[in-house]
Amino acid sequence: TYWSNAEHWEWATKPNDREKASFLKENIFPISESGQLKFIEGENTKALGENISISYMRGHTDAMMIPQINYKGKTVAFMADLLPSTGHIPLPYVMGYDTRPLLTLSEKEKFLKRAADEEMVLFLEHDSVNHCCTVQNTEKGVRLKETFSLEDYFGK
């Protein structure tokens, strides 16, 4: 099963000129055609299970989902393109192809503060060195606390 939301699916299947290269029809339409595509309706994530929640971001691309999974007393957040790598933790460092970079900045600031306060494990999709990290609040804002692999953190 592939999960998305109707708003993001619409955005992906009818992309603007800026994002056409990211949403390739040959990659996207087979998901729907296979019959395996399901939509999450707003904040209702019951179909995903009681330990999964979703935050929606609009700065990188419209209605991008940040899934959060509660596991063994910790929350693991799949950061997608909100925080692609540890190098993007400083607030001004956003992706060059965000559709609304100032909105990304605001969304990232709020999410990272929450992640630090709740001691979330942040899973980094695009970081080739650091699979996961935690962040902490400092006098200079949210900063990297530690890096690790999921296996090292949760065990085999």
pLDDT above 80: residue 152: yes
Arithmetic mean of pLDDT, 114-123: 98
Q: Collapse the DSSP code of 23 into the 3-class scheme (helix H, G, I; strand E, B; otherwise coil) and give the result.
A: coil
The span from the first CA to the last CA of the chain, in angstroms, equals 25
pLDDT-above-90 percentage for the chain: 83
pLDDT above 90: residue 126: yes
Domain count, the chain: 1
Residue 125: domain span: 2-154
pTM > 0.85: yes
pLDDT of 87-110, one tens digit each?
Answer: 999 999 998 889 999 999 999 999
Please tell me the predicted confidence (pLDDT) of residue 49: 85
Q: In the block, which residue shows the tokens 């090292």?
A: 152
* CATH number of the domain to which 30 belongs: 3.60.15.10
**DSSP label of 92:** T
Token pair for 129 = 């060195």
pLDDT of 2-43, one tens digit each?
Answer: 999 999 999 999 999 989 999 999 999 999 999 999 999 877
Q: In the block, which residue shows the tokens 């055609």?
A: 33
Arithmetic mean of pLDDT, 108-126: 97
In angstroms, the CA 150 to CA 156 distance is 9
In angstroms, the CA 12 to CA 102 distance is 21
